[in-house]
Structure 1
Amino acid sequence: MDVTSSSPRIDTQSPDSSWLSDDELQVLEAICETFFPSLDPPPGSNQAQVAYYRASSGDLHLPLLIAETLGQEDEESRGDVKRLLALLRSPATGLLLVGKGRPFRALPFEQREKYLLAMAHSPLAQLRQGYQLFKRLTGFLFYATPDPQGHNPTWAAIEYQLAAPPAASSTPRRLQPLSIQEDTTLECDAVVIGSGAGGGVVAGELALAGKNVIVLEKGGYQDESDFTLQEAQAMNDLYLKRGLLSSRDLGVAVLAGSTLGGGTIVNWDTSFRTPPDTLAEWEQLSGLSGVFTGPALQESFAAVERRIQINTDNSAHNRQNQLLYEGAHALGYHADSLRRNAVGCEQRCGTCGFGCRYGCKQSTLKTYLQDAYEHGARIIVRCSAQRVLIEQGRATGVEASVYDPETNTTRRLTIRARTVVVAAGSIHSPAILLRSGLSNPHIGQHLHLHPTTTISGRYSEQVYPWQGVMQSAYSDEFGHLNGTYGYKLEVAPTHPGLLGMGSPWHSAREYRENMSYAAYLATIIILARDKGEGRVTLDRHGEPVIDYVTSVFDRRHILHGLRQAARVHMAAGAIEVTSLQSKRTQLTRPQLDQLGERAWQQFDRQLERHGLGVNRLIMYSAHQMGTCRMGKDPAQSVTDAHSQVHGVQGLFVCDGSVFPTASGVNPMLSIMGLAHQAAQYIKTII
């Protein structure tokens, strides 16, 4: 054994961690120490490498950070964690998993490693889920949490450097959100719930038409002067549930923006129009003639593209995108540059997901919301919409609450409006409609997530996957494996926290060694157009719950994509490829050189045998769609040809939830185009 020290016990509890008992916190400390003990550095290590291996979970206070993070979850979630910790305190669980009738924290280090791996591979879903909860949190926090000076002790060893921000600007903020200091009632022509790709466009279009508009945003207001470029801080400030949003069973980690500008603040600028064959499918399924295939939507796409300056001039490839491009071409596969809504990128940073500090990203904050504000729109942030007010079949306003973090107070807000536009995203839009008493059975159904996973390739030279333009290349070679269903190959920027969260863990030492090569890794994602569906329902507090399991049909495409992404890596010169499956699934260049096609066959069998089931492979989603789908028939859909909710005059849904099926491409432009089209109609009825 090469563990050289133990995590110091945390004796003091902050208010956010006091929900755990001393015994529970000790179990959490033992979990963190097992994932991240202090280790003997390899012979010949330099000073940075010595510090990297010596660092332990206690040095970064991981148990306290995790307790505080989970302490912000709801009562049911905290209860699940307590039940999980109780299992680890039980000698019976130790007997089941490692043949030792002792609690987890009483086991020697090597047995605790085996215990965690037994959880990861258990046939019991609860144990796999518990493993993933703690592995993801510890991995993210260990590599992403900065010290008081703004640096993480692991960064020097893995060659990670924060992008240098531009010089501080004394320019005042361009927007001034309306302050709500007391219970308030406001009136307007249209209230828009949400400020992202859908809500931002509608707000801008209506305000430009002279309408009195109020925009409600659940998140806060950050702009270039606030974006720290710190991964951990960005997750807390800019994402729903501080980046912890997931399906109920943790099978899919869901990334969704929650800040003024919504997902357009944190997305990677990829700007595809909805493919023509998808639009034709939507028209056939919805029964809405001309809505998706007529000239109006193409005109809306063009108008949006002009406003957010979509171009390919800023699609120069960083090393990671170039590897995808070169590897695909070497195999004879399609590869191309994608269009982006950014100007002046110049490969300076690679932190698009943390907010664009340079102001290059043409988000709704810089475009449509700015238009709305300059034409009189009022914007209210940290505002949660509880329900839509409906009287005699017509929407008349919104009930909401506004939180002030400086005073820790919440005020009631009532908006009286002639039109209500719900654009809170495919998770929260159906939740608002359900809380409003609407009973259409399709509200919250037909959820699509574009389930996504990754194959990483390790190269002999540095790739620095966190530097430069985040997405600029893609392959659509396998976009039509079954009709209009298949997948795209793209890349994803892997900053240390995300890499630590996703990388497989087989032992503390092996994991630490693998992460030391972070600068040499490139990631290719398999983005599947899912045919399978999930749903969004409400918990007893009225908050949305995501139920989604990747279908057998879609798993076949993902498996196909894992195999092809590995081949692209090897064609581009990778010396090793690895999937995100819990069981070791790997292929090396020497194996391939020695065995040739037989090595591929063995690797392909590994991918299939090690499984794509829930919490056996980490799956992500940055695209949520379909929970308030459009259609002609109220018995089969939620909204009509104009995105108006069936049976409720003046109530519209304008976000990705109106998609009849998954878009198959990064959905930002699809959302914006449909919202722009709907806004032209809304203008005429206010």
Structure 2
Amino acid sequence: MDVTSSSPNTTRSSNGAGWLSAREMHILETICDTFFPALTPPAGASPARASYYQSKASDLHLALLIAETLGQENEESQADFHRLLTLFQNPATGLLLAGQARPFSDLPLERREKYLRAMAHSPLAQLRQGYQVLKRLSGFLFFATPDPQGRNPTWEALDYQPAEPPPPVARPLKPYEIKQDTVLECDAVVIGSGAGGGVVAGELALAGKNVIVLEKGGYHSEADFSLQEAQSMSDLYLKRGSLTSRDVGVSILAGSTLGGGTIVNWDTSFRTPPDILSEWEETSGLKDVFTGTSLQESFAAVEQRISINTENSAHNRQNQLLFDGARTLGYHVDSLRRNAIGCEQRCGTCGFGCRYGCKQSTLKTYLQDAYEHGARILVDCSAERVLIEQGKAVGVKASVHEHTTGKNYQVTIHARTVVVAAGSLHSPAVLLRSGLTNSHIGRHLHLHPTTTIAGHYPDKVYPWQGVMQSAYSDEFGHLHGNYGYKLEVPPAHPGLLGMGSAWHSARDYRESMEKMAHLATFIILTRDKGEGQVTLDSHGEPVIDYVTSVFDRQHLLHGMRQAARIHFAAGASEVVSIQSKRSQLSRQQLDTSGERAWKTFDRQLERNGLGVNRLIVYSAHQMGTCRMGKDPAQSVTDAHSQVHGVQGLFVCDGSVFPAASGVNPMLSIMGLAHQAAQYIKQ
């Protein structure tokens, strides 16, 4: 069962749990109660701690939440899940995985745990895939879903305090309302409102152009960001945060709201490094596009508009640990530049939208500029295809979902210029649905595959508090030429930790999560040489095929080893990977065995596997599926981001990168979009 694309319709209605039979619901409930059974509390446990251990999945209606979540998927994904649940009821599978020829629901808890571990470690990719779907969904929902009072019953024991939002403020703009099938006219229509689309829309509107912006997601601002992890993932991310590659091997985070990824990213603002720009120039055959003065001028203009600085990069405890540990080892380490101003609350919820208005997203900057200069902004609007006549783009066919009535309306926009800025997953989908046949559309997908090493510390770290990402190390950015990895720090809230932490048994997992406040997590963000591809499913929606290459896995492995060393240099008592099989090392082992303990741990990381669904791999960066180049036989867009062979059709987002950027790509996208906008204005 895969979760690979956003819903075919902007707001695919949920079937609730009714798409599962009573028998299937019973199986799912048993699975959830195996991941999360009622456990005997430790002796002398406080009431909150006792409740934490005694809570079971069915107390939280976890199976129902999973069924309702998957009820929003398409028919193919649901059919895969039906098959997965059928497998659980086959006695032969019970014999293979648990040593007893009985259906999963009829096995005792100890055997059911063995069954799930066998799935997680199976040589059969489909079994590992099915396990990860179940484990990730249940882990996220168990620790993230609030009760009617807005709190999850585990949070007190975990010492987790969600951020309290400030009083609401007025919404800064009003989307254009569609109440019927509609035809609109404009100079330029921009599909997408994130780092690329937002910049282009603002630049064109400021130049006096009549602009329409189409955003697939909804409109959320500091007036209504909930700052709740479960709600925010549903409101602000593609696929409610559950998007993955086809084989579930990579979990993909991508913004889907007005302002796109700039609403939910962690504010990190790198210019594309000069050596990467030189490589892009050579790869693309485009002279001066990447290495000339115009792109640097665009970077400077964007940096000024979105207020990039280091004054708002105060380190939280996690970032300080990375900084101190790297410095102790003599590794490069520095503070990040961020597009935030007045960030004094340090609330720890950058990934859920900035309720304080400190993050200078496109919603706060370029889209506001566009709106104030007459641009019309349509939300909950899915661009179906670009209208092309005689080699020219003449408009867009789209549909809008109207929430109050639940109706969908067709919208046709006539325009002389069409800018596709729907991101590296949806931009190629739009072009393919429009009938374009360039063989490179959707190819050359880069994801910056990322994994983590966690460190447990004697004192509390509270990884959900403070500035989420403010320190980085580039010590290993050039392991092989321009390829290597950065070490950074991610946000860490209960749901994400529940999804990512390895499950070895119900009690082990619960005990591990109980120490969450003592956890610090370092990410290994690789610049990938390997590539994937985006194609269309039967609904015309993107499907992501990507397997981390052997070359890139070696960089992940190198990074895991180095991140562990930085943790111990910073004072960690233990480090652990997020592999399905346990890889961990304690300070006691180091003190006892020294270098031999390091060698054992290094071998353990490699032996326990980096393959698909053996190691959890994330991506928050998608690039390269409509890459720029001089030769139409080797690329999709030209020096001005215009699609080869179609006048007036431009792509302005991370999909135009000739290869991976090697740094968090927001500023790279914005700079290239700003550069293209100067040409489009003409």
- Which range, TM-score by smaller chain? over 0.9
Out of 516, 519, 522, the position equivalent to 1:521 is: 519
Query: Structure 1 counterpart of 2:128, which letter?
Result: R
Q: C-alpha separation between the residues in 2 aligned to 1:267 and 1:135?
A: 25
Structure 1 residue matching 2:640: 3-state secondary structure: coil
Q: C-alpha separation between the residues in 2 aligned to 1:166 and 1:205?
A: 32
Structure 2 residue matching 1:39: 3-state secondary structure: coil
Residue 317 of structure 1 corresponds to 315
Higher mean alpha-carbon deviation, 42-51 vs 421-430, is at: 42-51
Kindly provide the CA deviation profile for residues 481-513 of structure 1, in whole angstroms up to 9, marking residues without a partner as x. 000000000001110000000001000001000
Residue 83 of structure 1 corresponds to 83
Q: C-alpha separation between the residues in 2 aligned to 1:449 and 1:559?
A: 17
Contact 1:428 1:544 in 2 (8 A): yes
Residue 103 of structure 2 corresponds to 103
Q: C-alpha separation between the residues in 2 aligned to 1:168 and 1:352?
A: 17
Out of 349, 359, 369, the position equivalent to 1:351 is: 349
Structure 2 residue matching 1:455: 3-state secondary structure: strand
Residue 223 of structure 1 corresponds to 221
Q: C-alpha separation between the residues in 1 aligned to 2:369 and 2:343?
A: 23
Kindly provide the CA deviation profile for residues 630-668 of structure 1, in whole angstroms up to 9, marking residues without a partner as x. 000000000000000000000000000000000000000
Structure 2 residue matching 1:137: 3-state secondary structure: helix
Contact 1:537 1:546 in 2 (8 A): yes
Kindly provide the CA deviation profile for residues 559-596 of structure 1, in whole angstroms up to 9, marking residues without a partner as x. 00000000000000000000000001100110010000
Contact 2:186 2:210 in 1 (8 A): yes
Residue 435 of structure 2 corresponds to 437
Kindly provide the CA deviation profile for residues 4-52 of structure 1, in whole angstroms up to 9, marking residues without a partner as x. xxxxxxxxxx941110011111110010000001111100111110111
Out of 289, 292, 302, the position equivalent to 2:290 is: 292
Residue 57 of structure 1 corresponds to 57
Structure 2 residue matching 1:446: 3-state secondary structure: strand
Contact 1:163 1:348 in 2 (8 A): no
Q: C-alpha separation between the residues in 1 aligned to 2:44 and 2:624?
A: 55
Contact 2:168 2:222 in 1 (8 A): no
Q: C-alpha separation between the residues in 2 aligned to 1:260 and 1:166?
A: 21
Alpha carbons of structure 1 residues 655 and 15: separation in structure 2 relative to 1, 3 Å: closer
RMSD (Å) for aligned C-alpha atoms: 0.7
Contact 1:549 1:614 in 2 (8 A): yes
Residue 495 of structure 2 corresponds to 497
Please state how far the C-alpha of 1:59 moved relative to its aligned partner.
Answer: 1.3
Out of 243, 246, 249, the position equivalent to 1:248 is: 246
Q: C-alpha separation between the residues in 2 aligned to 1:318 and 1:48?
A: 27
Out of 459, 462, 467, the position equivalent to 2:460 is: 462
Q: What is the 5 A alignment of 1:271-282?
A: 271-282=269-280
Residue 19 of structure 2 corresponds to 19
Please state how far the C-alpha of 1:408 moved relative to its aligned partner.
Answer: 0.9
Structure 1 residue matching 2:76: 3-state secondary structure: helix
Contact 2:431 2:441 in 1 (8 A): yes
Residue 450 of structure 1 corresponds to 448
Kindly provide the CA deviation profile for residues 216-271 of structure 1, in whole angstroms up to 9, marking residues without a partner as x. 00000000111111000000000001111110000000000000000000000000
Structure 1 residue matching 2:155: 3-state secondary structure: coil
Out of 180, 198, 201, the position equivalent to 1:200 is: 198
| Correspondence 1:144 to 2:144 | yes
Q: C-alpha separation between the residues in 2 aligned to 1:19 and 1:605?
A: 45
Kindly provide the CA deviation profile for residues 128-171 of structure 1, in whole angstroms up to 9, marking residues without a partner as x. 000000000000000000000000000000100011211233xx
Contact 1:347 1:467 in 2 (8 A): no
Structure 2 residue matching 1:660: 3-state secondary structure: coil
Q: C-alpha separation between the residues in 2 aligned to 1:542 and 1:283?
A: 33
Please state how far the C-alpha of 1:407 moved relative to its aligned partner.
Answer: 1.1
Query: Structure 1 counterpart of 2:77, which letter?
Result: S
Q: What is the 5 A alignment of 1:304-383?
A: 304-383=302-381
| Correspondence 1:548 to 2:543 | no
Q: C-alpha separation between the residues in 2 aligned to 1:235 and 1:197?
A: 19
Contact 2:171 2:222 in 1 (8 A): no
Please state how far the C-alpha of 1:404 moved relative to its aligned partner.
Answer: 1.1
Q: C-alpha separation between the residues in 2 aligned to 1:458 and 1:492?
A: 15
Structure 1 residue matching 2:158: 3-state secondary structure: coil
Residue 599 of structure 1 corresponds to 597
| Correspondence 1:480 to 2:504 | no
Query: Structure 2 counterpart of 1:656, which letter?
Result: G
Q: Which TM-score applies when normalising by structure 2?
A: 0.98
Residue 168 of structure 2 corresponds to 168
Q: Where do 5+ consecutive residues of structure 1 fail to align?
A: 1-13
Q: What is the 5 A alignment of 1:646-661?
A: 646-661=644-659
| Correspondence 1:35 to 2:35 | yes
Structure 2 residue matching 1:197: 3-state secondary structure: coil
Q: C-alpha separation between the residues in 2 aligned to 1:147 and 1:335?
A: 41
Query: Structure 1 counterpart of 2:513, which letter?
Result: M
Query: Structure 2 counterpart of 1:84, which letter?
Result: L
Kindly provide the CA deviation profile for residues 522-549 of structure 1, in whole angstroms up to 9, marking residues without a partner as x. 0000000000000000001100000000
Q: C-alpha separation between the residues in 2 aligned to 1:101 and 1:22?
A: 23
Q: C-alpha separation between the residues in 2 aligned to 1:571 and 1:425?
A: 39
Please state how far the C-alpha of 1:347 moved relative to its aligned partner.
Answer: 4.5
Residue 417 of structure 2 corresponds to 419
Structure 2 residue matching 1:512: 3-state secondary structure: helix
Kindly provide the CA deviation profile for residues 425-445 of structure 1, in whole angstroms up to 9, marking residues without a partner as x. 000000000000000000000
Structure 2 residue matching 1:253: 3-state secondary structure: strand
Give the count of matched residue pairs.
669
Contact 2:205 2:369 in 1 (8 A): yes
Contact 2:168 2:224 in 1 (8 A): no
Residue 471 of structure 1 corresponds to 469
Structure 2 residue matching 1:223: 3-state secondary structure: coil
Structure 1 residue matching 2:443: 3-state secondary structure: coil
Structure 1 residue matching 2:534: 3-state secondary structure: strand
Contact 1:318 1:347 in 2 (8 A): no
Q: C-alpha separation between the residues in 1 aligned to 2:38 and 2:342?
A: 43
Query: Structure 2 counterpart of 1:550, which letter?
Result: T
Q: C-alpha separation between the residues in 2 aligned to 1:226 and 1:546?
A: 32
Query: Structure 1 counterpart of 2:507, which letter?
Result: R
Query: Structure 2 counterpart of 1:529, which letter?
Result: R
Structure 2 residue matching 1:241: 3-state secondary structure: helix
Query: Sequence identity of aligned pairs in percent?
Result: 77
Q: C-alpha separation between the residues in 1 aligned to 2:536 and 2:323?
A: 43
Q: C-alpha separation between the residues in 2 aligned to 1:539 and 1:168?
A: 41
Residue 265 of structure 2 corresponds to 267
Residue 673 of structure 1 corresponds to 671
Structure 1 residue matching 2:156: 3-state secondary structure: coil
Which 4+ stretches in 1 moved above 2 angstroms? none
Q: Where do 5+ consecutive residues of structure 2 fail to align?
A: 1-13
Contact 1:330 1:571 in 2 (8 A): yes
Residue 7 of structure 1 corresponds to none
Please state how far the C-alpha of 1:126 moved relative to its aligned partner.
Answer: 0.6
Q: C-alpha separation between the residues in 1 aligned to 2:96 and 2:506?
A: 22
Q: C-alpha separation between the residues in 2 aligned to 1:461 and 1:218?
A: 43
Structure 2 residue matching 1:282: 3-state secondary structure: helix
| Correspondence 1:620 to 2:615 | no
Q: Which TM-score applies when normalising by structure 1?
A: 0.97
Structure 2 residue matching 1:38: 3-state secondary structure: coil
Residue 178 of structure 1 corresponds to 176
Structure 2 residue matching 1:350: 3-state secondary structure: coil
Kindly provide the CA deviation profile for residues 79-108 of structure 1, in whole angstroms up to 9, marking residues without a partner as x. 110111011110011111122111101100
Q: C-alpha separation between the residues in 2 aligned to 1:406 and 1:220?
A: 13
Contact 2:15 2:72 in 1 (8 A): no
Residue 566 of structure 1 corresponds to 564
